Amino acid sequence: MRKKIILITAIIIVCICAILFLENFEGDYVKGSKTVNQKSTKIYLKGDIGQLESNDINQVIDFLCTSKKIGQNINAKEEFILKNKEVDSIGFTHYKLQQVVKGVPVYNGELIVHVKKNNTIYLINGNYHKQAKEVYLNFEELLEKSELEKKAVEAIDTCEMKKGEIGEKLIYNHNGEYTLVYEVKVYCLLSADKIYRVFIDGYTGEVYDYYNIVMTK
């Protein structure tokens, strides 16, 4: 009996410490969100967040535009598009929204809104880039795709026989500043375990980052 009391007391102390830590965490979880860096915000809201009139994407978008709980003044009608909608085995609906600027997706800019069967929003999580809409965009100034693909292939020096495949345009946060990049996949033809995802500036051809997307044992 004494051991149980000690265990319960220890659990209570840990919970209190965790709550105090979150309340004093740098950046604060003000209204369910915290600053990840100077440009992006991680959003995590849980509980009875809001009630929708009906369970559809238009209601979700309207809620994001008007709710003060998120604390980010999101213009969801212009900044987000529906990426995916799923209904799970217990009837809850999960709306995955992609942040965009003039139709261009923001890298790692995504919100997921979770709705119960009674149309109650019980969870919102994801990342929001508030300053992304200030990015400079002029599609006429972009380098040719063939040139960007070539530069991306040249940046990978871990294999000799390579092939590039240019993908979509993205709004990308590089050292706190937003710019337009292309995502390029570079395949090492003699190594099945080497496929690189390359982020290259669409205006200058500078490679900002790349990594191997193949999971190796």
Residue 55 covered by a domain: yes
Give the global pTM: 0.77
192 with 146, same domain: the answer is yes
Residue 217 covered by a domain: no
List pLDDT tens digits, range 170-182. Answer: 999 999 899 999 9
127 with 205, same domain: the answer is no
Taking residues 72-78, report their average pLDDT: 85
85 with 107, same domain: the answer is yes
Residue 49 belongs to domain with CATH number = 3.10.450
What's the confidence (pLDDT) of residue 183? 97
Residue 7 covered by a domain: no
- Name the residue type at position 14: V
Domain that holds residue 162: 139-212
Residue 3 covered by a domain: no
Judged by DSSP in three states, 14 sits in helix
Residue 180 covered by a domain: yes
What's the confidence (pLDDT) of residue 73? 77
Distance, first Cα to last Cα, the chain: 47
**How would you label 95-134 residue by residue, b for 16+ Cβ within 10 Å and e otherwise?**
bebbbbbeebbbbebbbbbbbbeeebbbbbebbbbbebbe
120 with 157, same domain: the answer is no
**Which of the listed residues 106, 134, 162 is the one where a domain comes to its end?**
134
114 with 70, same domain: the answer is yes
Question: Rg of the chain over CA atoms, in angstroms?
Answer: 22
Residue 1 covered by a domain: no
CB distance 185 to 199 below 8 Å: no
130 with 33, same domain: the answer is yes
177 with 199, same domain: the answer is yes
Which two structure tokens, joined as six digits, stand for 90?
């217990």
Number of domains observed in the structure of the chain: 2
Residue 12 covered by a domain: no
Helices (H), 24-157: 57-66, 76-79, 145-155
Share of residues in the chain with pLDDT > 70 (%)? 80
DSSP structural state of residue 118? T
List pLDDT tens digits, range 28-68. Answer: 332 333 333 446 789 999 999 999 999 999 999 999 998 88
**What distance lies between CA 37 and its chain's CA centroid?**
13
More reliable by pLDDT, 101 or 69: 101
97 with 67, same domain: the answer is yes
**Which of the listed residues 112, 134, 156 is the one where a domain comes to its end?**
134
Which two structure tokens, joined as six digits, stand for 76?
């969801």
**Which of the listed residues 134, 167, 202 is the one where a domain comes to its end?**
134
Report d(CA 110, CA 126) in Å as an integer.
5
Residue 187 covered by a domain: yes
